[in-house]
């Protein structure tokens, strides 16, 4: 029989009191961060135990794909965070971004125009 309990915190530390023994744990992730190691185990044997849990930011792939340009027509995308690509002949550009709101501009090649749009780059929110 296992005694599973869920602990959460909005600070950087969770402190609990446990009797001597062997324990295992799992760490959940959110839409913004995920633990580097999702599971682990430890032993309490008469002294304090400190377990460090490292998190990394979750990045989402955002791809801009052109349609209707000829193969030899360069174009580029600029994001509000300062990320940009130089004009190139590729048919798509991919960014890896954390959750957030971003604006973007598409630079049209000579002789072409880009319809004015106010579409934000979509993302989830907590």
pLDDT tens-place string over residues 4-18: 889 988 888 999 999
* Count: domains in the chain: 2
Q: Is residue 112 part of a domain?
A: no
Spatial separation of the C-alpha atoms in residues 69 and 101, rounded to whole Å: 28
- Identify the residue whose tokens are 């990045």: 59
Residues 54 and 74 in one domain: no
State the DSSP code for 67.
-
Residues 12 and 54 in one domain: yes
- Residue numbers of the chain with a pLDDT score lower than 70: 1-2, 83-87, 116-126
Q: Is residue 67 part of a domain?
A: yes
Q: Is residue 48 part of a domain?
A: yes
Q: pLDDT at position 116, please? A: 65
Residues 25 and 52 in one domain: yes
85, two tokens: 């690509």
State the residue range of the domain holding 69. 60-107
Beta strand extents in the chain (DSSP E only): 21-26, 33-35, 39-44, 55-57, 60-65, 76-79, 92-97, 104-107
Residues 74 and 36 in one domain: no
Residues 1 and 52 in one domain: yes
Decide: helix, strand or coil at residue 81: coil
Q: Of the candidates 19, 43, 58, which is a domain's last residue?
A: 58
Q: Is residue 89 part of a domain?
A: yes
Q: Is residue 52 part of a domain?
A: yes
Q: Is residue 121 part of a domain?
A: no
Residues 53 and 71 in one domain: no
Q: pLDDT at position 41, please? A: 96
């Amino acid at each position: 029989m296992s005694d599973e309990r869920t602990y959460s915190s909005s600070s950087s530390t969770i402190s609990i009191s446990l009797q001597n023994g062997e324990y295992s744990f799992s760490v959940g992730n959110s839409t913004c961060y995920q633990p580097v190691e999702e599971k682990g185990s430890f032993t309490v044997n008469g002294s304090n135990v400190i377990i460090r849990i490292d998190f990394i930011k979750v990045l989402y792939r955002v791809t801009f794909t052109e349609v209707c340009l000829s193969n030899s027509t360069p174009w580029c995308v600029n994001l509000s965070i300062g990320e940009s690509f130089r004009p190139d002949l590729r048919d798509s550009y991919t960014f890896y971004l954390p959750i957030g709101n971003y604006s973007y501009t598409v630079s049209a090649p000579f002789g072409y125009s880009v319809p004015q749009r106010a579409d934000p780059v979509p993302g989830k929110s907590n």
